Structure 1
Amino acid sequence: MLEKLPDAIGQALHGVRAGLDEIAFNTIGLRQGMAAINLASLAFADHAPLPPRYTADGEGLSPPLQWTGVPAGSASLVLMVEDADSPTPHPLVHAIAVGLPAEDGSLPEAALPSADNAGSGLHVGRNSYLQGAWLPPDPPPGHGVHRYAFQLFALDSTPDFSATPGREEVLEQLRAHAMASGLLIGTCERPDGTIKIEDAAPAAPAGPAVAG
């Protein structure tokens, strides 16, 4: 995918980015309750790098998430993950899940389906590659740091979404029914001339590995 782009293209597109202003969290017009949901992950801190396990350089699994602060009166939750720094007019959608229970809760690692993983049976929508799956972060070499926005929304209803809803269908329902939201940012960068993890020469054992 994007890791196969030449470094020169990533460098040329360095200033071309969708921007955080374009992610769902900042475009649906939600005012009261903005960021009221506390969204976090045991795998990475807010604005910290995603471990390779959850990117195209590793197993490509969806990371674990947990949340608190879902307001009373909520009927369902929606999760959307977008790349705010994709070199596209709108953020690249990496995952959509709708109809989540309207309560404080969590998603385990690999809850979303991916290339070699069936997921845990969630109602998932289409990513920007038109797949009902988790699209692992895969920024172009030399394009700089990409910010992946994990966004959770509490809705006052349970919309009748299509089998695999896309971004616009979900945004329409969020604009009409979102009550509160939470945001968690994970980052990923592929420097110029990077070597993918599975292509790198094995290193000698040096104690426990620390994901970064």
Structure 2
Amino acid sequence: MRLESSAFNGGQPIPERYTCDGEDVSPPLQISDVPKGCKSLAMFVDDPDAPVGTFDHWIVWNLHPKTNDLAEGVSLPHEGENGFGTVGWRGPCPPRGSPHRYFFRLYALDTMLPLREGSNREEVEEAMEGHILEKAELMGTYRRK
């Protein structure tokens, strides 16, 4: 399985447009090579370099397994509570200084997740347990000026 973005390459800076310093919309993402038997996709976007520990920017589940593209700024039906205390995408917004890494982790699951809108990361991870078929990862960086 592969996860890519037309806005940035893996290991490269995430454009300002997708951060708190810009439009704060989610970047476009492309998904390919989803394994057979996949019933849904789930994704976490987080910053492990945050001063408070890993900080969630986007939690998504029950994406259709035939999803190839997530358009820029897309709003999805099954989104969880991020580290800002809101539901949906909130882009990189690190303290000024060193760059932070942002991991987009996509999971192919053998089930749909019976979760309520706004579920938190722990609830999503618990529901995913034992159902992960495959994982793909994309990492971008961001440094505030």
Same topology, TM > 0.5: yes
Partner of 1:50: 14
Where 2:57 maps in the other structure, the secondary structure is: strand
Give me the whole-angstrom Cα distance separating, in 2, the residues matched to 1:43 and 1:71: 25
Say yes or no: does 1:86 pair with 2:41.
no
Structure of larger gyration radius = 1
Q: Among 50, 67, 70, which residue is 2:31 paired with?
A: 67
Report how far residue 171 of structure 1 moved. 1.1
Shift of 1:122: 2.6
Q: Aligned pair count?
A: 145
8 A Cα contact 2:113 2:128, kept in partner: no
Task: Report Cα offsets for 1:131-188 as digits up to 9, x if no partner.
Answer: 112111001012x110000111011100201221101011112222111010000100
Report the identity percentage.
Answer: 39
Whether the 8 Å CA contact 1:69–1:104 is kept in 2: the answer is: no
**What is the TM-score with the length of structure 1 in the denominator?**
0.66
Tell whether the 8 Å contact from 2:45 to 2:57 is kept in structure 1 after alignment: yes
Aligned-partner Cα distance in 2 for 1:60–1:83 = 15
Looking at structure 1, the residues matched to 22 and 67 of structure 2 have their Cα atoms a distance apart, in angstroms, of 29
Q: Map residues 1-212 of structure 1 onto 2, 5 A cutoff.
A: 37-89=1-53, 91-103=54-66, 105-111=68-74, 119=75, 121-142=76-97, 144-190=98-144, 194=145
Q: What is the match of residue 32 of structure 1? A: none
Please identify which structure carries the higher strand content.
2
User: Residue 124 of structure 2 aligns to a residue in which SS?
Assistant: helix
Q: d(CA) in 2 for partners of 1:164 and 1:104?
A: 21
Q: How far apart in 1 are the matches of 2:130 and 2:122?
A: 13
Contact 1:70 1:104 in 2 (8 A): no
| One-letter amino acid of the counterpart of residue 94, structure 2 | P
Q: Which amino acid aligns with 1:93?
A: D
Tell me the secondary structure at the aligned position of residue 123 of structure 1: coil
Computed over aligned residues only, the root mean square deviation of the Cα atoms, in angstroms, reads: 1.2
Unpaired stretches in structure 1, ≥5 consecutive residues: 1-36, 112-118, 195-212
Deviation for aligned residue 1:79? 1.3
Query: Matched residues in 1 for 2:126 and 2:34: separation?
Result: 21
